[in-house]
Amino acid sequence: MRLNDDFSQPAVLHGARMDWVKSPMPGVERRMLFRIGEEKARATSLVRYAPGSHFSPHDHPGGEEILVLDGVFQDESGDYPAGSYVRNPPGSRHTPASEPGCLLFVKLWQFRKDDADYVAIRPDQEIPGASWPGVASSQKLFDNGHEEVRLERWQPNAEIAIANPDGLELLILDGGFAMGLAEFRRLSWLRLPAGRHFKAETGPDAARVFVKSGKLLQDNLCEF
């Protein structure tokens, strides 16, 4: 399966409008945003765990990146409520589950070979932040010099501009924005190729956005 696999072109999907696709495990469903491969794949997805569901124990040869959007995600390391950010590096292993149910944003097999950092940030932890015109706050979750991950709150009725020299990916967590005539709301996903700079306007509801910048498919990826 190949979905939005051309990184030289913009990619847009509105996750809230998509159908859920069953995974091999009962109670776990996905909305696929990017994919190269079948069950073993480089993939970016929205993943929903029904209450009491779990996935089999498994390895992450190419790493796994998780942002918890709703509910509580769980594994051997503990509980991760909404707002938590987790990076399981290449070679890690876990048994994911959710007793109350949860909604996740998940990126698989997109880590560099030399990315060995385990990251687990819960929403009650202090994270250094900054702000720019139109941006109420920007919290840096990860930066290894090749990619940077931030959670940003954009002010209402603001013009937002982000330079994009290497690549840019955004997921709307709350609120929304407009790019010309195109409207982006909660769970809308946007990926822009290098050199395609981002400009948008928020509405009265403002916006909270996951932002990843850098070369989005690294040269030094783990072998697939």
Buried b (16+ CB within 10 A) or exposed e, 100-113: ebbbbbbbbbbbbe
**3-class secondary-structure state, position 167:** coil
Give the pLDDT confidence score for residue 126 in this predicted structure: 60
How far is Cα 183 from Cα 188, in angstroms, rounded to an integer? 9
**3-class secondary-structure state, position 127:** coil
Phi, psi of 47 (to 5 degrees): -125, 130
Give the pLDDT confidence score for residue 16 in this predicted structure: 97
Domain ranges, ordered by start, for the chain: 2-9+19-121, 129-214
Residue 131 near residue 137 (C-beta atoms within 8 A): yes
How far is Cα 149 from Cα 128, in angstroms, rounded to an integer? 13
Q: 2-9+19-121: which CATH architecture?
A: Sandwich (2.60)
Q: 129-214: which CATH architecture?
A: Sandwich (2.60)
Q: Do domains 2-9+19-121 and 129-214 have the same CATH topology?
A: yes
Give the pLDDT confidence score for residue 146 in this predicted structure: 93
Along the chain (224 residues), what's the average pLDDT of each consecutive run of 10 residues? Answer: 95 98 95 93 96 91 96 95 96 94 97 93 75 86 94 94 96 96 96 96 94 88 76
Give the pLDDT confidence score for residue 224 in this predicted structure: 77
How far is Cα 142 from Cα 119, in angstroms, rounded to an integer? 8
Residues with Cβ within 8 Å of 217's Cβ and at least 6 positions away in sequence, in order, are 7, 42, 110, 167
